[in-house]
């Protein structure tokens, strides 16, 4: 049994202060009864409803983050700031970690969760979960680059890259890259091998999950029920 304010704060959707305000306004019910106090203790498996919406009280949390450049995709680092520093204190205590990584200078979609099983499945190479990136390079991209990506590449340092998508955009130095794997600095290494080093990189999608255009750099939000269901389907859960 746990306090109501702690259970709802652990979902990642509200701070404990916000939960207390919701309860005092009569906007929270538990098992069909209006909650009287944020200090009430309940089993996290109870039925929690906030403003008419069913909310899971389980401890698993799933957040979409619009990662800015300058932060490392890690839970802690002795020398550099991490993406977890963007979160409020109550979310720093529920075991969140990045599902996959983005380079320090790369922006875009990052999934933060404490669901190890889902993260493992989404990142497993055999699942081939597509990820789409916007890229800007030094130089001009062309059809030869598209064909080379589509055929797969073995780089000079021995890195073997699966076939990948390269969709040319209107500006000749920009494209969309679709990967089914996530090797270290992969896009940068692939394009550098073509003599077109990356100037800017941003992840737009991860499987069925697309970066919310309403999220500014550094902002985050919980996944919607539809987004979570789609991720679970891809992960085979």
Specify the range with the lowest mean pLDDT, choosing from 40-44, 52-56, 226-230. Answer: 52-56
Question: How confident is residue 61, by pLDDT bands cut at 50, 70 and 90?
Answer: confident
What mean pLDDT is reported for the chain? Answer: 90
Find the mean pLDDT for residues 147-169. Answer: 92
**Residues 72 and 39 placed together within one structural domain of the fold:** no
pLDDT at 183: 82
Same domain for 145 and 194: yes
Q: Report, as an integer, the average pLDDT of 159-185.
A: 92
Per-residue confidence band for 21, with pLDDT thresholds at 50, 70 and 90: very high
For the chain, what percent of residues have pLDDT higher than 70?
98
- Amino acid 7: pLDDT: 85
Rounded Cα distance between 158 and 235, Å, is 30
Same domain, 156 and 192: yes
Do residue 116 and residue 216 come from a single domain?
Answer: yes
Domain match, 81 and 34 both: no
Q: Which residues, in sequence order, are CB contacts of 177 under 8 Å at separation 6+?
A: 132, 133, 135, 149, 164, 165, 166, 167, 187
Same domain for 115 and 224: yes
pLDDT digits (tens, 9 = 90+) for 174-227: 999 999 887 889 999 999 999 999 999 999 999 999 999 999 999 999 888 889
Final residue in a domain of this structure, among 55, 76, 96: 55
Of the residues 37, 55, 73, which one is the last residue of a structural domain?
Answer: 55
Q: Are 68 and 121 contained in the same domain? A: yes
Residues 6+ apart with CB under 8 A from 72: 80, 81, 82, 83, 104
CATH assignment at residue 42: 3.10.290.10
Is the same domain home to 113 and 225?
A: yes
Q: Please check whether residues 106 and 12 belong to one and the same domain.
A: no
Range of 202's domain?
130-206
CATH of the domain at 115: 3.30.70.580
Tell me the whole-structure pTM to 2 decimals. 0.78
Question: Same domain, yes or no, for 213 and 111?
Answer: yes
Residues 202 and 107 in one domain: no
CATH number of the domain at 188, please. Answer: 3.30.70.1560
Over residues 78-121, the pLDDT tens digits come to 899 999 999 987 778 778 899 988 999 999 999 999 888 888 88
Domain end call among 55, 77, 92 = 55
Query: How many structural domains is the chain composed of?
Result: 3
Task: Please give the pLDDT value at position 209.
Answer: 95
pLDDT band with cut points at 50, 70 and 90 for residue 27 = very high
Residues annotated as catalytic (active site), given as ranges: 103
Q: Which long-range contacts (CB under 8 A, 24 or more apart) does 117-124 make?
A: 117/235, 117/237, 118/62, 118/231, 118/232, 118/235, 118/237, 121/235, 121/236, 121/237, 122/206, 122/207, 122/231, 122/234, 122/235, 123/99, 123/182
User: Residue 196: its pLDDT value, please?
Assistant: 96
10 and 110 housed in the same domain: no
């Amino acid at each position: 049994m746990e306090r109501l304010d702690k259970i709802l704060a652990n979902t990642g959707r509200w701070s404990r202060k916000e939960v207390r305000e919701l309860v005092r306004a009569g906007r929270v019910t538990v098992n069909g009864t209006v909650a009287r106090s944020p200090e009430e203790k309940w089993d996290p498996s109870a039925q929690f409803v906030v403003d008419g919406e069913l909310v899971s009280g389980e401890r698993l949390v799933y957040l979409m983050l619009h990662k800015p450049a300058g932060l490392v995709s890690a839970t802690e680092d002795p020398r550099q700031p991490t993406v977890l520093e963007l979160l409020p204190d109550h979310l720093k205590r529920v075991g969140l970690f990045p599902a996959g990584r983005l380079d320090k200078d790369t922006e875009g979609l990052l999934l933060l969760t404490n669901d190890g099983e889902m993260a493992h499945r989404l990142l497993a190479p055999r699942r081939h979960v597509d990820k789409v990136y916007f890229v800007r390079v030094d130089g001009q991209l062309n059809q030869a680059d598209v064909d080379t990506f589509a055929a797969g590449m073995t780089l000079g340092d021995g890195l073997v890259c699966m076939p990948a998508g390269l969709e040319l955009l209107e500006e000749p130095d920009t494209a969309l890259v679709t990967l089914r794997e996530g090797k270290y600095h992969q896009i940068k290494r692939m394009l550098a091998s073509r003599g077109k080093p990356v100037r800017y990189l941003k992840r737009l999608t991860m499987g069925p999950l697309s970066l919310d255009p309403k999220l500014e750099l550094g902002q985050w939000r919980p996944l919607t029920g539809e987004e979570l269901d789609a991720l679970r389907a891809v992960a085979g859960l």
